[in-house]
Structure 1
Amino acid sequence: MIKFMFMSLEIFLYATGVATSEDTLRESLFTGYNPKTKPHFPFNANVVRVDASFQMSSLYSLNFIDENFEFTMKMRNYWVDKRLTWDPSAYKGIQRIDVNKNDIWKPTLALLNGKVSDNIYSQILVSNKGEVRSTELLIVSTSCHIDATNFPFDTQQCKITASLTSFNVAFQNVQVNISEKFSSRWTTNQVTCFEHEDTTLNIHITLIRQLHFADIILMLPIFILVILSTLSFLIPVEYGERLSLSTTVFLANIVFLMEIEKKMPREGRRQAFLTIYLLLVTVTSGLTTVAGIIITKLHFRKDLENHEKSRSKNTELSEKLNQVAPKPTSDISEEGQPPCNEKRRPQTPLDPEKLNKILFRITFVSMIILTLLFLSLMMWYRIKPKQTTGTCI
């Protein structure tokens, strides 16, 4: 029991001594220290060399409409400040301390095409040799030129440009990494393309969209509407549901076109293949509706002509059976019927049934050609190698 009490007392005294020594060390280091003045190296042209490491941790969002790229990034910097050196033996063997980021000088890194939305975590460790290691976890938001040409099978390239704003401060060694779990929606290149000069760093990130169930849900109704628009010609002309179906499909295509357009960038330089395809399908669906109206009109006009023809024949037959002499030609007969030798309306040269078959074949072939061309362009654009901007390849 007494031995345990002595051990506890020794630990307490040691901890108190270390704490007192650390307080003394901090007072010694920061007395007269100006955090606004950078370290001075008379033998190194007065330039502070910074080793930097950037790790892209996770993707927050890639906003198509605002063309904004937001992600978390762990940034590590290393530099030497000879003003922060001490002899560990004079301070109970203390070789490293952590300091507040506002208490010492540190290089300022500014994003030229974005901003730091939030600083989640920050830690600065200083060793007895004046080596300073800074670790920060940041939420970064940058602009990203969105290429929606091949949406939803698209590949995006985003560029991050950062610069050291402090005078006579330059990058020395730079490392850039992307976490394997950066995003479940996008696939990133394992080797990140980056380039740096003395004070400027450019990071190029290539994001390849993975095909998800949501993309299938988006594409499937479009192809179903294409099929329904074509099959509307197979409904008999005398049924009114034919025009109802054509009109409904046409309106549904317009709604889909508006919804897809809402997902596109506001300042799109290229129209997406999907938008062009849906626009052509909508136009074809509208022409199908117009063709259905014309065919229906021709069909009922033919029925009316057949009815008038059968009525004339019945009139002639009744006259022969009753052995009635033909009456003089007049505008209107006594019975209120037009005379037999009156010029009848000429028959329409277009057969609605034949016209319906021709238009069905034309629409069917057109839809197949449009769909195959659309899918071919999307596959070709997806596998086509894309050049990165700048000199980084």
Structure 2
Amino acid sequence: MDRLKIVLALAAVLLFNVIQGVLCATGTYRLVTTLMQNYSKVVRPAESPQDAIMVAYGVALQQIIDMDERNQILTTNVWLRQHWTDASLRWNPEDFDGITKITLPSTDIWKPDIVLYNIADDKFEGIMKTNAEISHDGLVSWYAPAIFKSSCKINIQYFPFDEQHCRLDLGSWAFTINHLDLVARRNSGDIDSFIHNGEWVLKRMPVERELAKYDCCEYPYALLHFTIVVQRRSLFYVFNLLVPCMLVSALTMLSFYLPADAGEKVTLCITILLSLTVFLLLVAETMPPTSDVIPLIAQYYLTTMILVSVSTLLTVIVLHIHHRGAYASRPPAWFRKLAMDYLARVLCLRSCRSLHGAQTVPRISFENAPAMREVNNTMYKNVNMDCNQLEMNNMMAATTKRDVLGVGRRNRLQQTLDLIAGNLGKIVERYEEEDMDKEMRFEWIRIAYIIDRLFMWVFGLTTIIATLSIFLQVPSFG
């Protein structure tokens, strides 16, 4: 009885193994076993050694991860799409239950050695090892995601309104065109699934095929150049770098409007110059250190710094003219006429012209001195006549002693009047000199005021022209 049970158990196990083997021998398992029986993934699967395997290659750009301007490296997330024909992976669907397509790990089949020529990754791990789809006619379709770090020559001439052209140079590393012919699946890369980027706008992604000839090989290598054309979103840089620079530059106008007696004109110009220097250092940190071109924003900052430096020089000239009346003579006639007549009329400074034409500043002319002396002499003569009349009266009624006393009083009175007349003359001359000094200083102050307004308008117009000439260089503006 026990032997019968053992025999039945062995028979059941044997029957199960037979049934399982039959089931496994059908369908996909039998197909994969048959294909991989004598398959080698290191052998180029061509019909004959002379035939070239044509690989249709495509790239779908998913995301721009990073654009490192200083190191000139572009990091992108892409989906790679490759199609080629493997002559060793063909079968008749009728022999395998009508199966027309199977999926195999990409590590078990031959793959073209397409690499990124301009790679800039020190830890390159290659493409993700995804499965490949194989058709019964030997067509292999392999879709795999990858993250590429490629070198990209950054052109910062129009920064921050620049447009960058970064290429992905893809091609076979070992096979020339007589063994592996690389062609593009489409006329351009696929950008339909591109993820929005806050710094860059993807414009287009054209593809170009090149046959690169090297001295080492008889046949050229087929290369595909996928050019990623992106334009920088300039709003961030406009509000954080350009607008502050424009506002700081506009403050320079106040240095001309500030009165010369305030004593802060030069200080304001130097403070503005230091502020522009700080902003220029911030811009230099975000751009690659190159000497090929001068970035547009650097040109603008440099031009603004030059204008502010010139405005400082002009402010010093205005201050020199303003305080020149303290140690110099009157302004030359041609200088007064040029400033108070012509420049004041052009700049619509009517107050300065009226002051110059009407001579409203009170003054005492030097011609008043002889008249004052004449008045003093007349007063002296009248007093002398009165003294003579008094002397005659006294001589008729006084004694000799009283006559002597009268003569003494007359002499003292005459001396007092002479002293008063001399002092009055000196006072008049002193007031005349002070009035002349005040008028001379007022003339220099008025001329300095007119020239200061002239420099303000010249600086404003020059700043506007320089700004427009720089920003009109941008292709999108021009």
- Bin the TM-score by the shorter chain: 0.7 to 0.9
**Letter aligned with residue 371 of structure 1:** T
1:269 deviation in Å? 1.6
Residue of structure 2 in register with 1:371 after alignment: 467
Secondary structure in structure 1 of the residue aligned to 2:260: coil
1:92 deviation in Å? 4.7
Residue of structure 1 in register with 2:154 after alignment: 146
Count of aligned pairs between the two proteins: 342
Residue of structure 1 in register with 2:34 after alignment: 28
Paired residues of 2:158 and 2:295 also in contact (CA < 8 A) = yes
Q: 2 CA distance for matches of 1:193 and 1:172?
A: 10
Distance 1:247 1:68, change over 3 A: same
1:108 deviation in Å? 0.7
CA deviation profile, 1:101-148 (whole Å, cap 9, x unmatched): 221111011222225755356331222332211111111122222221
Is residue 56 of structure 1 aligned with residue 80 of structure 2? no
Distance 1:374 1:53, change over 3 A: same
1:97 deviation in Å? 2.6
**Letter aligned with residue 171 of structure 1:** L
Residue of structure 2 in register with 1:3 after alignment: none
**Letter aligned with residue 192 of structure 1:** P
1:217 deviation in Å? 3.1
Structure with the bigger percentage of strand: 1
* Structure 2 portions without partners, runs of 5+: 1-18, 212-220, 330-368, 370-418, 427-432
Paired residues of 2:66 and 2:76 also in contact (CA < 8 A) = yes
**1:105-144 aligned within 5 A:** 105-114=110-119, 117=124, 119-120=127-128, 122-144=130-152
Q: TM-score, normalised by structure 1?
A: 0.74
1:76 deviation in Å? 1.0
Residue of structure 1 in register with 2:254 after alignment: 231
Secondary structure in structure 1 of the residue aligned to 2:276: helix
1:58 deviation in Å? 1.7
Residue of structure 1 in register with 2:47 after alignment: 41
Q: 1 CA distance for matches of 2:135 and 2:207?
A: 33
Q: 2 CA distance for matches of 1:86 and 1:31?
A: 13
1:252 deviation in Å? 0.8
1:286 deviation in Å? 2.1
1:304 deviation in Å? 7.4
Q: 1 CA distance for matches of 2:128 and 2:65?
A: 14
Distance 1:300 1:94, change over 3 A: same
Distance 1:193 1:135, change over 3 A: closer
Is residue 161 of structure 1 aligned with residue 173 of structure 2? no
**Structure 1, 99-108 or 62-71: larger mean CA deviation:** 62-71
Q: 1 CA distance for matches of 2:204 and 2:422?
A: 101
Residue of structure 1 in register with 2:341 after alignment: none
* Structure 1 portions without partners, runs of 5+: 1-12, 307-315, 328-339, 385-393
CA deviation profile, 1:289-311 (whole Å, cap 9, x unmatched): 343345445545545789xxxxx
Q: 1 CA distance for matches of 2:54 and 2:161?
A: 43
Residue of structure 1 in register with 2:357 after alignment: none
Q: 2 CA distance for matches of 1:201 and 1:190?
A: 16
Residue of structure 1 in register with 2:242 after alignment: 219
Q: 2 CA distance for matches of 1:144 and 1:38?
A: 33
**Letter aligned with residue 466 of structure 2:** L
CA deviation profile, 1:325-373 (whole Å, cap 9, x unmatched): 999xxxxxxxxxxxx9xxx9xx899643233223222212221221121
Is residue 65 of structure 1 aligned with residue 70 of structure 2? yes
Q: 2 CA distance for matches of 1:262 and 1:28?
A: 62
Is residue 188 of structure 1 aligned with residue 202 of structure 2? yes
Secondary structure in structure 2 of the residue aligned to 1:281: helix
